[in-house]
Amino acid sequence: MFWSSRSPFARKAAMVAHECGLFDRLELIDVPIPGPGPHAGLNRATPIAKLPTLVTDDGLVIAGSPTICEYFDDLGQGGLIPRAGAERWRALSRQAMADGMLDMLLLWRADLRRPEGCQSARQQGVYESRLIATLDRFEGEAASREGFDIGDVATGILLSYLDFRFPEIDWRAGRAGLRQAHATFSARRSAIDTAFAAGA
């Protein structure tokens, strides 16, 4: 699997593989972020050159973390993705919401890395307001959460990414439910073994 230890989406796929008992079977091919240039192996595997991308032993190419996570969950019978009914759609919707917020955080981070005069304070304000609303939604649902599914994986990685790339944001303030959920998430062996690595 093409991945980076600094990519939240690649981490999600690796963590699901771990939860499903497949992590030791993965060959992780590190792709530098940002890289010095195109990564030949990744470009051969997929024209969009996006992380993560999985290439199976029989040559099947699976792109995108939601699809890779579903593949691992099906192969390893991990039970992270409910098979049917309201539980399935709740879990997948929480994953999609966390993933969408991660997409925005990547855009936010890219804007912050521009020269000061080229940054958009207005757009950063939009990102911040959406982040607050998303965290408040997750906090409101935390008390009724039971078990551990793909939505919990994605939410835990979102919160960990905030700690990793946005340490100035105190997302724990006033959110005791999320704080406890993240502490539980962080103690899982799969989270420890796939933790974000320091770097650019």
Predicted pLDDT of residue 200: 52
Predicted pLDDT of residue 6: 94
Predicted pLDDT of residue 78: 80
Predicted pLDDT of residue 146: 85
Distances (CA, A) of 13 to 24, 67, 141: 13, 9, 24
The whole-angstrom separation of Cα 170 and Cα 166 is: 9
Q: How many CB atoms lie within 10 A of CB 101?
A: 24
Give the list of residues 6+ apart from residue 18 with CB closer than 8 angstroms, or none: 189, 190, 193, 194
CATH number of 2-76: 3.40.30.10
Predicted pLDDT of residue 33: 79
Q: How many CB atoms lie within 10 A of CB 25?
A: 11
CATH number of 85-191: 1.20.1050.10
Domain range annotation of the chain: 2-76, 85-191
Predicted pLDDT of residue 145: 82
- pTM (two decimals): 0.94
Residue-wise pLDDT tens for the chain (200 aa)? 999 999 999 999 999 999 999 999 999 999 987 777 789 899 999 999 899 999 999 999 999 999 999 999 999 988 999 999 999 999 999 999 999 999 999 999 999 999 999 999 999 999 999 999 999 999 999 988 889 999 999 999 999 999 999 999 999 999 999 999 999 999 999 999 999 997 65
